[in-house]
Structures are given as C-alpha cells and as structure tokens.
Amino acid sequence: MTAFSFAGAALVAASSSAVTPLYRLYQQSMHLSPLMITLVFAVYAISLLAALLTVGGLSDYVGRRPVILGGLLLNAIAMVLFSYASDVGQLILARAVQGLCVGTATTALGAAILDTDRKRGPLLNSVTAFLGLMVGALGAAALVTFAPDPLHLVYEVLFALTVVMIVLLFVMPETVSRKSGALASLRPHVRVPSQSRAALLRVAPATVATWALGGFSLSLMPTVVATTMGVSAPWVGGVVVATLMLAAALTVAALRQLPAQRLLVIGTAALSLGVLVSLLGIWQHSVAMLFAGSVIAGFGFGASFAGSLSTLLPTAEAHQRAGLLAAFYVLSYLAFSLPALAAGVAVPYAGLAVVAYVYGAVVIVLAIMSMIASLRGER
C-alpha cells in the first residue's frame, strides 16, 4: 500500500502541474491576460481548499480506499475536461474539478503512507509532492516541445495513468478501520489536534513563504519567462518550474537525517538567497541566472517543507493524521493561491516585472523572519 499511495499522490500532483507549461498556449489561443491565468489558478486552489475543509479528514472515518477512489475518479474527469476545453470557462471548470481531486486525494494518500510506514512517512510525504509537480511540469514541457497536439496528448497520458491506478486500487488493502462520525466530519472546519497546535504555529511562517513562491512559479513563471525575458520557447517556463521542484525533492532525500529545526533554518536561508538570485536573473534577462536561482530556492523549498512536516506529523495519533494534514494543506494552499491571485490583479497596474520584484521581496522577508525565529528556537 505504501508504494501505491506514493505513486497515487505523485500522479495527482503531476496532473496539477502539467497545466503550467501549457499556460502560454492557452494564453495565445484563448487570448488570456496574466490576471485570467492567475484566476484559473486561484479557482483550482479555492476548490482544493473546499475539498480539504470538508472531506480532508473523511478517510479517518470511512477508510482510505473509498476516498482515494473518489479522488482518482475526479482526476480522470478533470483530464477529460481539460482535453476538450476550448474557452476560459471550460478551462476554469476543469481546474475546479482538479482542485477537488487534489483536496480529496492528497490527505487520504498521505495518511495511507503514514499508516503503512510510520518511520519514513514524513519523508515520503515530503518528497511525493515535489516529485509529482516536477514530473508533471517536465513531462508536459517535453510534450509541448516534441509531441503533436500537446493540449490533448498531455491529458490523454494522465487519464490513462489514472485509470491504471483505479484498477490497482481494488487489490490494495485498507489500512484503517471504519468508525462513526463521518457525516459530522464533513462540516467545514479545520481539525488541529490540541497537541499539534504549537508545532503548526512554529512552522507557519516558513510554510507561507515556501508555498507563496510555489504558487507564483506554477501560475506566472512561464509568463514571466516569455514576456519579461523575451524567451519565446514555451518549454523554458516549464523547465524552470521543474527545476525548482526537482531541487526540492532531492534536498528532502539528501537532508532527511537532519533535525527538523535545523532543516527549517537551512531551508529559509536558502529560500531567501534563491529568490534573490532569481530576481537578479529577471532583472538581467538571464535565463541561466534564473535557473540557478530556481535550484537554490528549490533547495530551500525542500528543506523548509521537510522540516515543517517532520515537526508536525509526529504530534498526531493515527486517527488524527488525515485531519492534521488537511489543516496543514489549508494553510499551504492559502499561501499558494491568494498571493498569486493578488499578483495577477496587480500586473495590469504595475507591470509583470515590478510585481515579480515585489512578490519576491515579500517572500524573502517572510523567509528571513522564519529563519531568525528558527535560530532562536534552536538555541
């Protein structure tokens, strides 16, 4: 079940990031402004949050397999909707369904990983998201560059993989027993166990900084590369995003033995430096510098995320894991979506380059604040 849950979570993440390299194609064919792109992205995040707030902890009550099945079915529907999308309304609908998929499946799959491998669970949960986001962005960028009709082929490949996972799910064992309270758990509220609240507050600043950067990268980075740096090849923006996520995944694996507090210190310091180098790359119109900044920022993203999960997850009991993960992801995806949407609103007034500079500066300030707090905590 661990391998299946890991693969399923990676597939869901890959499906969500595969849209990023295609934004430039949608922008050209549907005449989308940066504001419309961030609106499409924000709808995804809002529907994801709605799922987290309602069914995020449902698998603690009805079992992991039914919730995972629901998430995979939603992913298959989203891929079909994306494949047939011909205007921005249909694109928004597809993104909304995909958000419901991610919000439904992520916590159940993450909790299933913890159920079957408590020792490596936090590490696997940390790596899964980054690997999936990287594979989705890089795979879609490759299809955009080398394959015919990427606006359909990308989703057809992901649909086929989703069907395979649905078939495999029926031979997977259940990892938790059912208990009463399922209907009550659907009431929208954030469930943070009392013993986990202090830990969540400690990791909140780093979580906001890292996921705000991720939201900007997955929504506007291809547009930044194309318009402010004059790079016409649509795959470059996707590769920049994939570089960020690959560096994060490798960092989680490489630094897994470090204490959580040390990971947070290292991660927030690297995140600040990486964002600064990326902004210099945009200013100098240097793709090489932007890639270098993405590698450094990805290192910081991975270390911060791993430190946050390593701090948080061990505080929850088995029947509290999905609910705690849902609360953590609510915080993460609020930081993921709201700043990016605000950036899209500001672009027509300030320009994309200025918005990128201000956005990056805010992320740097948040990361430095978290780093200082972590250093004090370590002492």
**pLDDT tier for residue 152 given thresholds of 50, 70 and 90:** very high
User: Whole-prediction pTM value?
Assistant: 0.84
**pLDDT tier for residue 309 given thresholds of 50, 70 and 90:** confident
How far apart CA 163 and CA 145 sit, in angstroms, is 26
Residue 377 has a pLDDT of 61
Average pLDDT over residues 240-268: 90
Give yes or no for a contact between 214 and 336, defined as CB atoms under 8 angstroms apart: yes
Residue 311 has a pLDDT of 83
**pLDDT tier for residue 257 given thresholds of 50, 70 and 90:** confident
How far apart CA 344 and CA 23 sit, in angstroms, is 14
- Please check the confidence at residue 249 and state whether its pLDDT lies above 80: yes
Give yes or no for a contact between 325 and 106, defined as CB atoms under 8 angstroms apart: yes
How far apart CA 51 and CA 326 sit, in angstroms, is 9
How far apart CA 323 and CA 40 sit, in angstroms, is 27
Sequence-distant (≥ 6) Cβ neighbours of residue 177 within 8 angstroms: 63
Largest CA distance in the chain: 59
Average pLDDT over residues 89-107: 94
Q: Which of 4-8, 270-274, 333-337 has the lowest mean pLDDT?
A: 333-337
How far apart CA 293 and CA 240 sit, in angstroms, is 10
**pLDDT tier for residue 300 given thresholds of 50, 70 and 90:** very high
Q: Which of 43-57, 88-102, 304-318 has the lowest mean pLDDT?
A: 304-318
**pLDDT tier for residue 28 given thresholds of 50, 70 and 90:** confident
Count Cβ atoms within 10 A of the Cβ of residue 58 and give its class: 0-12 exposed, 13-18 middle, 19 or more buried. buried
Cβ of 180: how many Cβ atoms within 10 Å? 8
3 state SS of 1:
coil
- Please check the confidence at residue 379 and state whether its pLDDT lies above 60: no
Residue 378 has a pLDDT of 58
The alpha carbon of residue 294 and the mean position of all alpha carbons in its chain are separated, in whole angstroms, by: 16
- Please check the confidence at residue 10 and state whether its pLDDT lies above 90: yes
Residue 11 has a pLDDT of 97
Report the percent of the chain where pLDDT is more than 70: 98
Could you give the C-alpha distances from 259 to 265, 375, 378, in angstroms and in order?
Answer: 10, 13, 10
CA angle in degrees (0–180, nearest 5) for 183-333-352 = 150
Residue 63 has a pLDDT of 93
- Dihedral sign of CA atoms 136, 251, 268, 231 in order: negative
Where is pLDDT greater, at 284 or 184? 284
Residue 33 has a pLDDT of 86
Where is pLDDT greater, at 313 or 217? 217
Type of residue at 376: R
What digits encode the pLDDT tens for the residues 341-366? 899 889 888 998 899 999 999 999 99
3 state SS of 170:
coil
Two structure tokens written together for 285: 């119109």
How far apart CA 227 and CA 32 sit, in angstroms, is 13
Average pLDDT over residues 106-121: 86
**pLDDT tier for residue 135 given thresholds of 50, 70 and 90:** very high
DSSP assignment of 82-99 equals HHH--SHHHHHHHHHHHH
How far apart CA 49 and CA 59 sit, in angstroms, is 16
